[in-house]
């Protein structure tokens, strides 16, 4: 419970450094500079791509394979969560609506 | 920052705290949920607490969890975290004229503590960087107060979440709340058609290339999505209907 393995510890410290680097990116150097144009445009698309690349496999895959059945609580919970977001524009509502679908299906029906 | 007397004793500090107070419950709820999600995804209590305390970036924490559980190489997790955090790079460019009068370590601590809401509130309250020392101090103090309450709400709620998670059976699958949170953030970013395309391409590519070793599928997916979107942007650059995101 209170154990920390070296791998996870290194990841956590590394992610803290990533937070410092990202939030302080343009605050480090005194000389004023700008990102190249292609990188500025890339900033538009990379964050949402990173999230989707992490999220979709977590929703539609089990043990490295695409889910073979539609009886999976995650599919319905993710759809409900996304719909709730577009309804209320609130991340908290997304989580609550998603879990309200997830828990009955997962615990009640064993999906 | 908030640990400096010059900042926390300044009247603007309280103003910063007050302006954020309406949003503190929302931040706390998110912190609580992230705390629960970290433990329920298989991280130990100590690891979860350390992560909540020092990483201090909900979306990159949540994105890192499945990768940590899968034992992905560290550099892949850090690269993914950086991509998720790219919005802060844009914020730091905007904050530059407000903070460049400070020494380096203070610039970095201000930057580190300025998460999404503090950035939005601060730049809304001060549309232009101060030019006089007294004004500058007020701006620094306001930002410090703002960040103080934001950080306190986040960290204390995360600790409560990590503790609570121990009393919830793993079979409930509450770790999925973290994925739902990422879905909410993702939908919030989908403000233009090309960004939606970026999400669709990256998601499908990450699933299709899942068998790649070292969790490289994440980076392949990001690269494919960004390159495709930049190409599409070039192709439609001449058309007037080209949407430009803020």
List pLDDT tens digits, range A51-67: 899 899 989 998 888 99
Task: Tell me the nearest-neighbour CA distance from B223 into chain A, angstroms.
Answer: 8
Q: Is the pLDDT of residue B206 over 80?
A: yes
Report d(CA B246, CA B243) in Å as an integer: 10
Q: Do A49 and B83 touch (CB under 8 A)?
A: yes
HEC string of chain B equals CCCCHHHHCCHHHHHHHHHHHCCHHHHHHHHHHHHHHHHHCCCCHHHHHHHHHHCCCHHHHHHHHHHHHCCCCHHHHHHHHHHHCHHHHHHHHHHHHHHCCCCHHHHHHHHHHCCHHHHHHHHHHCCCCCCCHHHHHHHHHHHHHHHHHHHHHHHHHHHHHHHHHCCCCHHHCCCHHHHHHHHHHHHHHCCCHHHHHHHHHHHHHHHHCCCCHHHHHHHHHHHHHHHHHHHHHHHHCCCCCCCCCC
- For A40, nearest residue in chain B (alpha carbons): B90
Is B157 within 8 Å of chain A by CB?
Answer: no
Cα separation, A49 vs A42, in Å, equals 11
Check: pTM over 0.90? Answer yes or no. no
Q: Is residue A66 within a helix (H) or strand (E), and if so which, with residue range?
A: strand A65-66
Residue B166 main-chain phi, psi, to 5 deg: -65, -20
pLDDT digits (tens, 9 = 90+) for B51-102: 999 999 888 998 999 999 889 999 999 999 999 898 899 889 889 999 999 9
Residue to test with chain A: of B26, B66, B186, B212, most A Cβ within 10 A: B186
pLDDT mean over A86-110: 91
B78–chain A Cβ distance below 8 A for any pair: yes
Residue numbers in B near A16 (CB within 8 A): 54-56
Distance from CA of A39 to the nearest CA of B (A): 10
Q: What percent of chain A has pLDDT over 70?
A: 99
Whether B24 has its CB under 8 Å from any CB of chain A: the answer is no
- Is pLDDT at B240 greater than 50 in this prediction? no
Q: State how far the alpha carbon of A66 is from the alpha carbons of A20, A56, A76, B208, in Å.
A: 36, 10, 15, 9
Q: List CB contacts (< 8 A) between A21 and chain B.
A: 82
What's the burial of A52, exposed, middle or buried (CB within 10 Å: 0-12/13-18/19+)? buried
pLDDT of A86 reads 94
Find tokens 């599919």 and name the residue: A75
Note whether A23 contacts B87, CB cutoff 8 Å: no
Answer whether A24 sits within 8 Å of B107, measured CB to CB.
yes
The CA distance from B200 to the nearest CA of chain A, in Å, is: 7
Residue-wise pLDDT tens digits, B179-203? 898 898 899 889 899 999 999 999 9
B217 Cβ under 8 Å from any chain A Cβ: yes
* % of chain B residues with pLDDT over 90: 52
Greater confidence (B117 vs B161) lies with B161
pLDDT digits (tens, 9 = 90+) for B3-56: 888 888 899 999 999 988 877 887 888 888 889 889 988 899 999 999 999 999
Asked if B83 is an interface residue toward chain A (Cβ–Cβ < 8 A), one would say: yes
For residue A53, give the nearest of B29, B181, B206 by CB distance.
B206
Q: Is residue B242 scored above 90 in pLDDT?
A: no
- Contact indicator for B188, B199 with CB cutoff of 8 Å: no
A15 pLDDT band, cuts 50/70/90, is: very high
Q: What is the pLDDT of residue B246?
A: 45
Contact A61, B206 (CB under 8 A): no
Q: What is the pLDDT of residue B79?
A: 95
Calculate mean pLDDT across residues A32-43: 82
Res B175 pLDDT > 90: no
Give the ipTM. Answer: 0.88
Contact (CB<8Å) A12/B107? no
CA B187, B190, B191 angle in degrees (round to 5)? 125
Which residues in chain B are contacts of A37 at CB distance < 8 A? none
Helix ranges (H only) for chain A are 6-23, 37-60, 73-88, 91-103
């Amino acid at each position: 419970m209170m154990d920390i393995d070296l791998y996870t510890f290194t990841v956590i410290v590394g992610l803290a450094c990533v937070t410092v680097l990202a939030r302080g990116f343009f605050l480090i150097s005194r000389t004023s500079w700008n990102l190249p144009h292609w990188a500025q445009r890339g900033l538009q698309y990379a964050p949402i791509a990173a999230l989707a690349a992490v999220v979709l496999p977590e929703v539609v895959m089990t043990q490295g394979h695409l889910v073979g059945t539609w009886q999976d609580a995650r599919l319905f919970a993710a759809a409900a969560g996304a719909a709730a977001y577009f309804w209320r524009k609130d991340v908290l509502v997304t989580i609550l609506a998603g879990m309200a679908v997830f828990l009955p299906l997962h615990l009640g029906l064993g999906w | 920052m908030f640990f400096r007397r010059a900042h926390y004793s300044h009247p603007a500090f309280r103003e910063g705290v007050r302006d954020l107070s309406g949003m503190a419950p929302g931040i706390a709820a998110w912190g609580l949920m992230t705390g629960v999600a970290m433990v329920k995804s298989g991280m130990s209590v100590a690891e979860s607490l350390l992560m909540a305390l020092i990483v201090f970036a909900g979306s990159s924490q949540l994105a890192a969890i499945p990768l940590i559980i899968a034992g992905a190489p560290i550099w892949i997790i850090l690269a993914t975290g950086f991509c998720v955090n790219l919005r802060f790079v844009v914020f730091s460019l905007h904050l530059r004229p407000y903070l460049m009068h400070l020494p380096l370590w203070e610039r970095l601590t201000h930057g580190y503590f300025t998460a999404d809401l503090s950035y939005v509130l601060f730049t809304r309250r001060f549309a232009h960087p101060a030019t006089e020392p007294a004004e500058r101090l007020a701006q620094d103090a306001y930002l410090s107060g703002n960040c103080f309450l934001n950080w306190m709400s986040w960290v204390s709620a995360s600790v409560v979440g990590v503790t609570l998670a121990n009393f919830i059976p793993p079979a409930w699958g509450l770790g999925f709340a973290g994925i739902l949170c990422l879905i909410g953030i993702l939908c919030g970013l989908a403000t233009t058609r090309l960004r939606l395309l970026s999400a669709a391409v990256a998601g499908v590519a990450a699933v299709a290339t899942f068998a790649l070793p070292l969790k490289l599928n994440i980076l392949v997916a990001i690269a494919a999505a960004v390159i495709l979107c930049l190409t599409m942007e070039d192709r439609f650059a001449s058309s007037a209907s080209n949407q430009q995101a803020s």
